[in-house]
Structure 1
Amino acid sequence: MSKIEEGVATFNTHVENENNNTSCCSSASIVPITQKLIAELIGMYFVIFAGCGAVAVNKIYGSVTFPAVCVTWGLIVMVMIYSVGHISGAHFNPAVTITLAIFKRFPWFQVPWYIIAQLIGSILASLTLSLMMDVTPKAYFGTLPVGSNVQSLVAEIIISFLLMFVISGVVTDNRAIGELGGIAVGMTIMLNAFVAGPISGASMNPARSIGPAIVKNVYQGIWVYIAGPIIGAIAGGFAYNLLRSTHKPLSNELTQTASSNFLKTTS
């Protein structure tokens, strides 16, 4: 190795160490973090634009059926995972971001910034849909409990558990085929929407519910869509980590860095 190559390698190592040990405001980390946040914002924007847009079109024009709405949610998440997953990790969900941080697969100092980007993307997409269509109260594209808050809370916890369980299995485990992660996650969202859509709206995502609520000023049962997904996601992540390979202590498995996958991000 030449001296120039050695110098480049030393510089890259120094930058990597700085990214691992400094805050998001450091000069060494501000550019990649900015790229991640922009990717997360854009991804979240189109997830809400397509998913909530299908909901609104179905309610206003009746040209989209319930099964088509479920398929739309699954497809748009899958498409955006493959589009920006290699940049931001494609969380598009505060509950997923928080859970990954809890199990040491995502740096805590980036969590608030990711959540802010996700919320901004959701709000901007909701504003766009409101400008494009005449969204009446009956055509509201957010999430509202159909029955009681408890029924919707239970539904959100269960489907968020499943979503995070699948995410943990297909994109944070070295033994899984990471390239299929986007398909598995998109399919899980579609299946969850089929089951829980008529009950709670199948949010699984605080930002998905908060954005439309802010734009249309509808906060009925909003706590269900904040608490439910977070509780379910944490439980799902914990459950999968109990099933990881047992040839190493569980503490080592939780901190092991996953190989290339879509939802992995670096500090």
Structure 2
Amino acid sequence: MDDISVSKSNHGNVVVLNIKASSLADTSLPSNKHESSSPPLLSVHFLQKLLAELVGTYYLIFAGCAAIAVNAQHNHVVTLVGIAVVWGIVIMVLVYCLGHLSAHFNPAVTLALASSQRFPLNQVPAYITVQVIGSTLASATLRLLFDLNNDVCSKKHDVFLGSSPSGSDLQAFVMEFIITGFLMLVVCAVTTTKRTTEELEGLIIGATVTLNVIFAG
């Protein structure tokens, strides 16, 4: 508590406030580090984050892969540019809708933020688990909607794998490494610095995903 002393003077009473250092310490601003503000595991807020990751990853994979499936089964009517726009728009919408809770939707994003100490390491396994579950459920939904089966020889487009890579495995690996690195660079830049406003984060990330799909296929 503050110490208050009263002393006499020729002009009346003078009130002197002696504020202890401990009082100032109690009013200090909280740290901005994620480690200090991360919710405990199994808390309501953390479960809300996991639900946001599950729903967001589901819709991301469902919309993006559905665009590719429709394009493959209907004589490429969607086109590569159309597919890229679908991926970009859906990630932009999800960031704006669920970003106040959590908007990783990708294990690479979770690992990148954790490695830069912007995300608690103890939450990484749970995040990746729900992301995998969400993407698996989206794939299962597409499998039912497009009447897909395991016999890859029975029909032209009976099994949809999500992409149609060309070239060698090494070429595909290098391309994925480059575009994923580019995406992580943008995500870390817009989420860990003050160079951009929160209102532009979804637009910038969506534009990056669109660009990646256009030049990487």
> TM-score, normalization: structure 2?
0.76
Q: Give the Cα separation in 1 of the matches to 2:93 and 2:72.
A: 24
> More strand per residue: 1 or 2?
2
Matched, 1:178 2:198: yes
Q: Give the Cα separation in 1 of the matches to 2:206 and 2:141.
A: 24
Shift of the 21–171 alpha-carbon distance from structure 1 to 2, 3 Å rule, reads closer
* Bigger radius of gyration among the two: 2
Deviation at 1:175? Answer: 2.7
SS at 2:162's partner residue? coil
SS at 1:175's partner residue? coil
Q: Give the Cα separation in 1 of the matches to 2:79 and 2:116.
A: 38
CA contact 1:40–1:92 (8 Å) conserved in 2: yes
CA contact 2:57–2:134 (8 Å) conserved in 1: yes
CA deviations on 1:168-203 (whole Å, 9 max, x unpaired) are: 222211232221010010011111101111xxxxxx
Count of aligned positions: 179
Aligned to 1:24: 41
Matched, 1:101 2:77: no
Aligned to 1:143: 163
Matched, 1:64 2:78: yes
> More helix per residue: 1 or 2?
1
CA contact 1:56–1:141 (8 Å) conserved in 2: no
Matched, 1:76 2:90: yes
Q: Give the Cα separation in 2 of the matches to 1:141 and 1:21.
A: 36
Aligned to 2:208: 188
Deviation at 1:148? Answer: 0.5
Aligned to 1:42: 55
Aligned to 1:154: 174
4+ runs deviating over 2 angstroms: 18-23, 134-139
Aligned to 2:24: none
Query: Structure 1: which 5+ residue stretches go unaligned?
Result: 1-12, 198-267
Deviation at 1:61? Answer: 1.8
Q: Give the Cα separation in 1 of the matches to 2:166 and 2:109.
A: 25
Shift of the 169–19 alpha-carbon distance from structure 1 to 2, 3 Å rule, reads closer
Q: Give the Cα separation in 1 of the matches to 2:90 and 2:141.
A: 17
Aligned to 2:128: 115
Matched, 1:168 2:168: no
Q: Give the Cα separation in 2 of the matches to 1:143 and 1:21.
A: 36
SS at 1:189's partner residue? helix
SS at 2:101's partner residue? helix
Query: Structure 2: which 5+ residue stretches go unaligned?
Result: 1-29
Q: Give the Cα separation in 2 of the matches to 1:39 and 1:61.
A: 33
The percentage of aligned residue pairs carrying the same residue is: 48
Shift of the 22–185 alpha-carbon distance from structure 1 to 2, 3 Å rule, reads closer
CA contact 2:38–2:120 (8 Å) conserved in 1: no
Which residue type is aligned with residue 24 of structure 1?
Answer: L
> TM-score, normalization: structure 1?
0.62
CA contact 2:57–2:135 (8 Å) conserved in 1: yes
